Amino acid sequence: MSMLFSPVSLGTLTLRNRIVISPMCQYSADAGRATDWHLIHLGHLALSGAGLMFIEATAVAPEGRISPDDLGLWSDDTEAALAQVLESVRRHASTPIAIQLAHAGRKASTAAPWAGGQQLAPDQGGWQTLAPSALPFDATELPPLALDEAGLARIRDAFVDAARRAHRLGLDAIELHAAHGYLLHQFLSPLSNRRDDRYGGTLENRMRFPLEVFDAVRAVLPAGFPLGVRISATDWVDGGWDLEQSVAFARELQRRGCAFIDVSSGGLSPLQQIAVGPGYQVPFAERIRHEAGMPTITVGLITEAAQAEAIVAGGQADLVALARGMLYDPRWPWHAAAELGAQVEAPKQYWRSQPRPFAKLFRQG
């Protein structure tokens, strides 16, 4: 039996297989509200046969958006728009759906990638960014405003409010975004956090705000509801956040009831030097899995079914997530199941589509 297509539990949620669709920003919202694009995008990915699908990084406050076109979950309007999309998707797909809640911090207020991706000044449709310290991501950018304790409380409460909305929408899991150089990651890394109060300096202090956000969100969700965290295991910069600190952070999360940790890397500094190659982030997930004792999701240039199977079967990670590869091939789980002799869920309208050699590919009934 394929390990990639075996069940796995995250808290009280049991997944049919270990293939995850990563959260992928679409830059297609209207003032934070989901649009028809989200219906099309999420609808077709929900029919892929993956075990779990993440909605993209979803801002918990307007100033926490990466771009003016980012999805949000901070108001009744943004909640209602996402509810409409989810109602349609669920009508035709049984794939569990999770959401990634995020605040971009100093990396907010930028144009969409296809519009250049540069920082937008307030007179260009942007806004004042926020961060642990008044250090811009790039020297050419306007500096962020260093958050005071009232600002920290406001952002913590915004994560809590968004989590309540996500649970009310019936989403199956929540992931807090503490990776890729966004706000919670900015607190963790000594490169972006130069505070001299109880939220900066030592590792314990730098972890304090992300852990406070986790604890506050965990407190408003039912026992066993899957709440996880995405981290960058390393900044890929000397003197920055690294794997040793990630293990310590993961251990603290595990003690607090974290259901899973989604292990990525980089994104905090333009000085990063990333050694890219197939499965290049898998060793990070493996180390955290063994030393923190919680389910891990691994990502990064995982493109082949046999590669994903070997990662899971070898105990390097519990789940494998795909992003760009899933956009390029939205039926990747079907093809992986065919190669590995497994079965996937598929809508009955597609049951007659499988090639003759894979007549038993789809689980029916």
Is 280 designated active site? no
Give mean pLDDT, residues 214-226: 97
Quote the CA–CA distance of 293 and 309 in Å, as a whole number: 21
Quote the CA–CA distance of 178 and 182 in Å, as a whole number: 7
pLDDT digits (tens, 9 = 90+) for 117-136: 999 999 999 999 999 999 99
- Whether the pLDDT of residue 359 is over 90: the answer is no
Specify the CATH class of 8-363 in words: alpha beta
pLDDT at residue 356, rounded to an integer: 81
Domain definitions of the chain by residue range: 8-363
pLDDT digits (tens, 9 = 90+) for 36-64: 999 999 999 999 999 999 999 999 999 99
- Whether the pLDDT of residue 344 is over 60: the answer is yes
pLDDT digits (tens, 9 = 90+) for 241-286: 999 999 999 999 999 999 999 999 999 999 999 989 999 999 999 9
- Whether the pLDDT of residue 353 is over 60: the answer is yes
- Whether the pLDDT of residue 365 is over 60: the answer is no
- Whether the pLDDT of residue 174 is over 70: the answer is yes
Q: How many residues does this entry show for the chain?
A: 365
Nearest to 97 by CA among 32, 156, 175: 175
- Whether the pLDDT of residue 185 is over 80: the answer is yes
Annotated catalytic residue, options 182, 280, 328, 350: 182
pTM: predicted TM-score of the whole model, two decimal places: 0.96
Quote the CA–CA distance of 64 and 226 in Å, as a whole number: 23
CB 173 within 8 A of CB 96: yes
pLDDT at residue 116, rounded to an integer: 95
pLDDT digits (tens, 9 = 90+) for 153-173: 999 999 999 999 999 999 999
Q: For the chain, give the mean pLDDT.
A: 96
